[in-house]
Amino acid sequence: MFCAAILFTVALLIVCVALYTHKWRHPKCNGRLPPGSMGLPLLGESLHFFSPNTSSDISPFIKERIKRHGPLFKTSLVGRPVVVSTDPEFNHYIFQQEGKLFQSWYPDTFTEIFGRQNVGSLHGFMYKYLKSLVLRLFGPENLKEKLLCVMEEKARRCLESWSNQPSVDLKEAIATMIFDLTAKKLISYDPNESSENLRLNFIAFIQGLISFPVNIPGTAYNKCLQGRKKVMKMLKRMLDERRASAPRKNGHSDFFDYVVEELMKERSLMTEVIALDLMFVLLFATFETTSLALTMAIKILTDHPAELKELMEEHEAIIRNRENPSSGMTWKEYKSMTYTNQVINETVRLANIVPGIFRKALTDIHVKGYTIPAGWAVMVCPPAVHLNPEIYKDPLAFKPRRWDGIDTNGGFKNFMAFGGGMRFCVGTDFAKLQMAVFLHCLLTKYRWTKIKGGNITRTPGLQFPQGYHVLLSLKSPNGNITA
């Protein structure tokens, strides 16, 4: 009798598991789902998606499925059903239908990291409200009037300091440079005057940002959450201090003042949670992606001397045309850097720092004979477009001149390095200006020699696991750039 009960229980469990597995692999749909596999129950195909690769090409995860299923396929990542789109036309449609058929969405693990009230997770009027607030700092007017000269001064000081060192890890050094500059403008943070090293907390955060989401002590994801917790504690203390102090008589000393001012208005849309999440996201977004792009640009230019020479000539011409060669960069000079802008576009196209842009279907979406069910996530895949040989001839080659005559302001369907649609990255102008200013300061005065590192890994986000170490020194009179 007892044995029969055990056998019955085991059989029942097997049936339940089989039914659940069948349900997992064959989700309900009022139509025909795109081809693809849902992988293992709960786990899906996450392990393959997050597995490291060292290729500059489209990731093996995406490339294999495009070959097998075409430009639109289904999968499951971190417990959620996802349709991946590598189709430029459909990607463009997704961006244009923001707030109508699709809305911005990120996996629960991302919202856990960035905060459930972060700007990327908010929609409609609230998103537009925060975007207009952020543009007070990153809008063209403030970049032109205030940040340009600050960026140049910071870059010159850092380059001078680095040139006195036997070796400098460009990825880490550039990230620190940009972080210190933006942290000063955002929250008046000065690492030389603070008892807390804010940057160290972000290093722990970044290392686990795009990792398999297992929240167990010792894992990268757990360290990421701990890094966020420490940063948020510091921001909360600063917020309390700002709110308790008297209103500033001399206006706004940093962006945090604008946020606190909004927070203290009667019937304000701003809440304390939104304010803290906003500051956290801005601190992260303003330095990490730009430092990766700049490091990638220098690495690529080092390997392409002809393109490096042409870029150097553009910047040296700017110096020659000045009445005072030692004067600072002007906005007019920045806007004249045609080839520099092309180098930046080509760098971010190849770098593919953002491997996926997520949206959620608000209703059943019918596309090319398939149906994407309401509530499903859709991942737009920029690398699959940027490295498509039918769109970009010889896509893995570095050819800045391929951008001749192409206006990328606002993005377009074949170029999504900064997103698209109404959620086109609000920090795009800031990032491009930062890159142009740094390259100007570097190319007109310094040369460099690679020492070690420079290899990339994608997990799936871009990383320099061994850094990119160079010897930096003043240019010789003959004008050589690299030794």
Binding site feature residues for heme: 425
Centroid of chain to Cα 50: 17
Residue 282 in tokens: 């801005």
Kind of pairing, strands 102-104 and 370-372? unpaired
Going by C-alpha positions, the residue among 406, 400, 388 that lies closest to residue 88 is 388
Asked whether 132 and 414 are in contact (CB, 8 A), the reply is no
- Report the C-alpha gap between 436 and 425 in whole angstroms: 18
* Sign (positive or negative) of CA dihedral 330, 333, 338, 340: negative
Would you mind telling me the total number of residues written for the chain in this entry? 483
475, exposed or middle or buried, with CB in 10 Å at 0-12, 13-18, 19+? middle
Q: DSSP of 350-381, one letter per residue?
A: HH-----EEEEESS-EEETTEEE-TT-EEEE-
Distances in whole angstroms, Cα of residue 282 to Cα of each of 117, 288, 355, 409: 13, 10, 20, 21
Other beta carbons within 10 Å of 332: 9
- Report the C-alpha gap between 383 and 354 in whole angstroms: 8
Residue found by looking up tokens 């300091």 in the block: 161
Asked whether 422 and 100 are in contact (CB, 8 A), the reply is no
* DSSP-assigned beta bridge partners for residue 463: 457
Asked whether 461 and 353 are in contact (CB, 8 A), the reply is yes
Helix or strand run (H / E) with residue 365 = strand 365-367
Asked whether 206 and 289 are in contact (CB, 8 A), the reply is no
List CB contacts of 42: < 8 A, sequence separation 6 or more. Answer: 24, 79
Distance between start and end Cα atoms, the chain: 84
Other beta carbons within 10 Å of 172: 17
List CB contacts of 118: < 8 A, sequence separation 6 or more. Answer: 111, 277, 278, 280, 281
Phi, psi of 58 (to 5 degrees): -55, 140
